[in-house]
Amino acid sequence: MLQGGSHPLIDRHRASALAQLKAEGLPSRKVERYKYTDVRAMLEPDFGLNFSRLPLRFDPRSLYRCKVPGLGSTLHYVVGDMVEHKTGGQQDGSFFVGSMTEFAKRSPELFSTYYNKVGGDSLAALNTMLVQDGLVIWIGKGHKADNLIQVVNLSVGSVPMMANRRQLIIMEEGAEASILCCNHSSTAQPHLATEVVEAFLGEGSHLQYYQIEDSAEASSLLGTANFVQQGASRLDYASVTLSGGTSRRTVNVSLEGVGADLVMSGLVIADGSQHTDNNLLVTHCAPGCHSDMLYKYILDGSSTGAFAGKVMVRPGAQQTDSQQTNANLCVSPQAHMYTQPMLEIYADDVKCNHGSTVGQMYEAALFYMAQRGIGPDEGRLLLQQAFAWDVVLRIGLLPLRQRLMSMVEERFRRGTSLCGDCAMCQTPNS
């Protein structure tokens, strides 16, 4: 059944993935990187899987017409784990955006060179074992993608479902591209998505990669992203969680070429019983590389947040410059935050800093605003927005930055992040 909806170059990795999964087992909370998230509980429900690739009677464009005002973009839909169109876009042999199976047919040697090259832990192996298709974004040498590549991942279905999503991003020498991935759900049924992203940045390439999580409370996500950077490449990565259920993101970045540059940003807004866990590993393998990490959490209700960021400096990676900051605001006394910044350094000519704070609402600021006629509710909202702005301002695309500012404000004011562009958002009680 798996092979029937896939490609032989994807199928040939299943046996080794199964062997790894059997040898390692699913990660438990005894594993250091998973101590704050119960992965086994997330996988416990009896989820259905669409191995037969049955077409879903669902038109994503009828409900999700997501566009960023003032920014030209091309939309690509992934419903469950099925890419909406099997044919990809190609222009003068300079780029491709489309189905993984289609790309494997067109460019088998290139696909084999990069697919499943980095690997990962047993959760990544689970995805490799079950995935049938995915999305490939290939930007050729020196090509600069004019439009934003916007990927809309949708969880749908009337029964609990598990989707296994995959992305392969290949940026050749001097290539430039901007990618925005939006995760939504149109069902109250429990849904789980496993996701593996593999991205390879060639010499002097520049990738802006942004993720927005705006899903229902019943949705769960187990994501693994691996980025490999060559010399003088730059990666701008940002993850924004506006709403959802339980999510765990593992992000590994390897700076393997001289002068590689990395900027990572994250914003989490959580309430209710939401649980969000971000685990980062940045490895400096070459001299003269720079990394800057800023993650902020705003937790309300009985929500739980977890952050672990580790910077590893390998022997020989001299003149490394690294900064890591994690700041957290617990609005409710029932909210909990776990934070674990780490440095592991095996070179002596480096500049590395890390810091973490967990605090509550600044009562003196609320008192100051009350003296100027700003009520306590509005004052708390303004303080939370100001706390979040530092992350949003690091978004390189101005129209997207402005859009996120309005979405964050709407999230605080209404308690849910209604974007206003989708029919789903305009339907009462949806």
| Closest to 361 (Cα-Cα) out of 414, 308, 412 | 412
CA dihedral 15, 17, 19, 25 (to 10 degrees): -150
pLDDT at residue number 311: 98
pLDDT at residue 185 tops 90 = no
How would residue 416 be classed by pLDDT, with cut points 50, 70 and 90? Answer: low
Quote the DSSP letter at residue 266. E
DSSP state of 418: -
- Do 75 and 98 meet the contact criterion of CB atoms below 8 Å apart? no
Lowest mean pLDDT across 127-131, 286-290, 332-336, 412-416? 412-416
Contact assessment for residue 283 and residue 320, using Cβ atoms and an 8 Å cutoff? no
Please name the helix (run of DSSP H) or strand (run of DSSP E) that holds residue 307, with its range, or none: strand 304-313
Domain ranges within the chain, ordered by starting residue: 3-365
* Neighbouring C-beta atoms of residue 99, cutoff 10 Å: 23
Is pLDDT of 420 > 60?
no
> At residue 232, does pLDDT exceed 50?
yes
Q: pLDDT band at 248, cuts 50/70/90?
A: very high
**DSSP per position, 101-117:** HHHHHH-HHHHHHHTTS
Average pLDDT value for residue range 136-161: 92
- Rounded distance, CA 51 to CA 6, Å? 10
| Lowest model confidence (mean pLDDT) among 51-55, 353-357, 377-381 | 377-381
Tokens of 104: 């494997």
Residues 6+ apart with CB under 8 A from 372: none
**Mean pLDDT, range 108-118, rounded to an integer:** 96
* Share above pLDDT 70 across residues of the chain, in percent, rounded to a whole number: 92
Tokens representing residue 303 in the block: 């929500």
Residue 271's pLDDT is 93
Cβ proximity of 85 and 60 under 8 Å: no
Dihedral over alpha carbons 88, 89, 91, 94 (to 10 degrees) = -60
**Token digits of residue 223:** 């994501």
Q: What percent of the chain has pLDDT over 90?
A: 74
pLDDT reading at 417 higher than 80? no
Determine the pLDDT at residue 92: 62
Coil, strand, or helix at residue 33?
helix
Distance CA 387, CA 272 (A): 20
In DSSP notation, 379-391 reads HHHHHHHHHHHHH
